[in-house]
């Protein structure tokens, strides 16, 4: 199975909007650059899930266009969700190739849990960062990190 983990781009610090702050111009640019970087890849997910928060929905747009997918809003990708809930949702999806657009700390914990197992440690996935994993099962320690791209590498 394949898994793309995409952290939202840089966003404004404060917002009174319940959906959270929007991406900054720099955040939009970084996310678009990351999607462009992946345009030459043969691999593509079957489904694209994103957090309902505005910064994640905005970050999902260029990847959705790249992969010709519609982002599916997933409450289970909100920042406070634990990886056991996320792993259960991935298992339930039945798909072999998925992309998730979300937040720290949940994406960092999911990344670390899949590649290092338990006990959980947090890996850092920078803003606009994208990690690609090969996963044998949706459980701790069953993943192998293939690559991780950050905006600084563009």
User: Which residue from 15, 17, 41 is spatially nearest to 130, judged by alpha carbons?
Assistant: 41
Secondary structure of 68-85 in HEC code, one letter for each residue: CCCCEECHHHCCCCCHHH
Task: Give the residue from 74, 90, 80, 94 showing the smallest Cα distance to 143.
Answer: 90
- Domains present along the chain, CATH in parentheses: 2-153 (3.40.50.1240)
Phi, then psi, of 99 in degrees rounded to 5: -120, 140
Report how many helices (DSSP H) and strands (DSSP E) the chain contains, helices first: 4, 6
pLDDT, tens only, 124-141: 999 999 999 999 999 999
Please tell me whether residue 62 adopts helix, strand or coil conformation: helix
Residue with tokens 């069953």: 142
Q: Tell me what pLDDT residue 121 has.
A: 86
Give the total residue count for the chain: 154
30 or 118, higher pLDDT = 30
Sorted by sequence, the CB contacts under 8 Å of residue 40 that are 6+ apart come out as none
CA quadruple 140, 76, 58, 26: dihedral positive or negative? negative
pLDDT in tens, 10-45: 998 776 677 788 999 999 999 999 999 998 888 899
Give 57-114 pLDDT, tens digit per residue.
Answer: 999 999 999 999 999 999 999 988 888 999 999 999 888 999 999 999 999 999 999 9
Question: Is-contact 65 34, C-beta < 8 A?
Answer: no
For residues 104 and 97, give the distance between their C-alpha atoms in angstroms, rounded to a whole number: 21
pTM score, whole prediction: 0.95
- Per-residue pLDDT band at 154 (split at 50, 70, 90): low
């Amino acid at each position: 199975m394949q898994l793309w983990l995409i952290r939202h781009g840089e966003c404004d610090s404060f917002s009174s909007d319940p959906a959270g702050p929007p991406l900054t111009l720099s955040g939009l640019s970084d996310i678009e650059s990351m999607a462009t970087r992946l345009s030459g890849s043969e691999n593509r997910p079957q489904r694209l899930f994103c957090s309902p928060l505005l910064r994640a929905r905005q970050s999902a747009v260029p990847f959705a266009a790249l992969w010709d997918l519609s982002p599916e809003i997933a409450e289970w990708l909100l920042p406070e969700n634990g990886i056991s809930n996320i792993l259960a949702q991935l298992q339930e999806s039945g798909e072999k190739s998925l992309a998730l657009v979300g937040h720290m700390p949940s994406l960092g914990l999911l990344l670390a849990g899949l590649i290092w197992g338990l006990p959980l440690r947090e890996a850092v996935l920078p803003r606009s960062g994208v990690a690609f994993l090969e996963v044998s099962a949706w459980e701790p320690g069953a993943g192998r990190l293939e690559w991780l791209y950050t905006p600084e590498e563009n």
